[in-house]
Structure 1
């Protein structure tokens, strides 16, 4: 194994609480990798000494050639798959989908091997694509970024893509759409294995305000549509976001934008694969779900504040979207936190 100054050897007297291996796919994204590993680093030692004591981590690949990220920066693997040790989690960091076919066959074979041995797999960003390509996600729920949904559905129709959770654990596989959500996932895992105090240790050092739970909705759902390049879509989504409590008809929305209903529907079908009303309703449902957990408002109040005529109407749509009633959703999540 190559020795690195930032990977001080683990004390022989201390068995680590949790062991990670990272696999970086071609053109991987730096942010989820750096955020995840830095959270682990802070939990691994006292103060800010960065020794691998309570947590360990390594970077693996089929060979020791540098792996270049999407930003052009490279990371040198520490071990090959043949030299790999025993890990609790193997974390696959994905990147540009144009490089998906460049994932080495040995990587897919190694994922299959460790999964059969009972090791948990984590997919960050498009790491879920690599895990699915290894044939390990059939029939499972998988957290993906909304931007990648069309490609994911086309490539892996037997996997259930979920866009409104920041990480999902389904069996022995955990997926996360990437970005700063990787920090939240890392901390969730660290709390489980190292305890709450040590698991949360890196938040202050990384200047992160709070640890989000898996069900916490991203702060800006449909943000991608606001930058899709179609002015009708971009302006419509901004209006929708401002009027969650008082949604308009598609006719009124089109009139506000100075376009026709037909043109607006066509634009949404092309860019969002849904109608304006479907997108607007989903925005309101996602916002209502956040309010159920993060406010003490009654279900009736939340229903009206999110643009539903009454609580019964709201409950029907909520159950259709999330497979449980608003009351059950709130009670189960609050009980879990307690």
Structure 2
């Protein structure tokens, strides 16, 4: 089989127009940066940024920034990454992610890089330090008086160098007044999904978690209020797999018979299992997962009702509104107006 044979079997990616990305990241890779935290963070964005596994930059976008585009940046493992955008204007970026690496090499950022990070912070852009990126941010004075996540192996050196920073080593990541840090390694996943959850909604965060095969117990513990999270760890492999598929296809649901086939059972058996573990049919569960994401978007975005309906897999705004009212006892328009009045009171 070649690529053309596979493309003939694969469905075409859904058309998603008019969506403004809510997470727009510029990465700064330090000299001898550690590859795992960078890869964990950027792949979390990749899976959350699109439906299924098409990897289009729709809900999230990212660029690797550097002074020169013709000089690859070498990771601590020896791999080379080619930057994509010069350190100039911020454009529409709302996050600058500084990826640390081997000490002390990673501190040898040029003055242009350091000035860019400082200016981003002063401009109100959220600054993130992955791994020993915390050393870089502290060296710039951005962590004074703040809590900061530091790996236990680097605690002593960090405290000696930066006594004005409160060191934390028993939390995966720390968010303190517009500056975020993580311990390194796979803790970059936790930090990435925290940002995705906060800015894109739980559905996008959970979609990324399931796409990356993050273990179920960790997933459930990170998102305790996730719609139907209890079914993701219910003990029935078929129900758990069905929930993962539902969460990965918010905008593109398909017939329950097709879902059952992907899970490896009959439609009748899948309905029986959902009745046993969730007291709802698979179709009801999938619809309510999509409605929960619509509810989140109404609260946290300015998207129109038609756009939200499309993103949540409903045929049109009327279809979405009908089910939303049946579930939440008011129309999406009425819900949004009421919430805005409450917030402005």
TM-score (norm 1): 0.58
> Where does the alignment leave 5 or more consecutive residues of structure 1 unmatched?
1-9, 217-338
Shift, 1:85, TM fit: 2.3
1:70 maps to: 76
SS of the residue 2:52 aligns to: coil
Shift, 1:84, TM fit: 4.2
> Where does the alignment leave 5 or more consecutive residues of structure 2 unmatched?
1-14, 224-345
Q: Please state if 1:137 is matched with 2:146.
A: no
Q: Structure 1 residues 152-161 or 44-53, which shifts more?
A: 152-161
Q: Please state if 1:42 is matched with 2:47.
A: yes
User: 8 Å contact 2:107–2:135 — kept in the other structure?
Assistant: no
Shift, 1:96, TM fit: 0.4
- What is the count of residue pairs matched by the alignment? 207
1:286-301 to 2 correspondence within 5 Å? none
2:21 maps to: 16
In 1, Cα distance between the equivalents of 2:220 and 2:164?
Answer: 27
In 1, Cα distance between the equivalents of 2:56 and 2:89?
Answer: 22
Q: Please state if 1:33 is matched with 2:55.
A: no
Query: CA-to-partner distance for each residue in 1:225-248, whole Å, 9 max, x for gaps?
Result: xxxxxxxxxxxxxxxxxxxxxxxx
1:143-292 to 2 correspondence within 5 Å? 143-210=149-216, 211=218
TM-score (norm 2): 0.57
Shift, 1:99, TM fit: 0.2
After TM superposition, which residue ranges in structure 1, 4 or more long, deviate above 6 angstroms?
212-216
SS of the residue 2:145 aligns to: coil
Q: Equivalent of 2:101, from 95, 104, 109?
A: 95
Cα RMSD after superposing both structures:
2.2
Q: Please state if 1:104 is matched with 2:110.
A: yes
In 1, Cα distance between the equivalents of 2:202 and 2:36?
Answer: 24
In 2, Cα distance between the equivalents of 1:147 and 1:214?
Answer: 26
Query: CA-to-partner distance for each residue in 1:149-189, whole Å, 9 max, x for gaps?
Result: 12111211111111111101110100101111101111111
2:57 maps to: 52
Query: CA-to-partner distance for each residue in 1:73-119, whole Å, 9 max, x for gaps?
Result: 01111111115422121111100012034211111111110111100
2:328 maps to: none
Q: Equivalent of 1:80, from 65, 86, 95?
A: 86
SS of the residue 1:82 aligns to: coil
SS of the residue 2:96 aligns to: strand
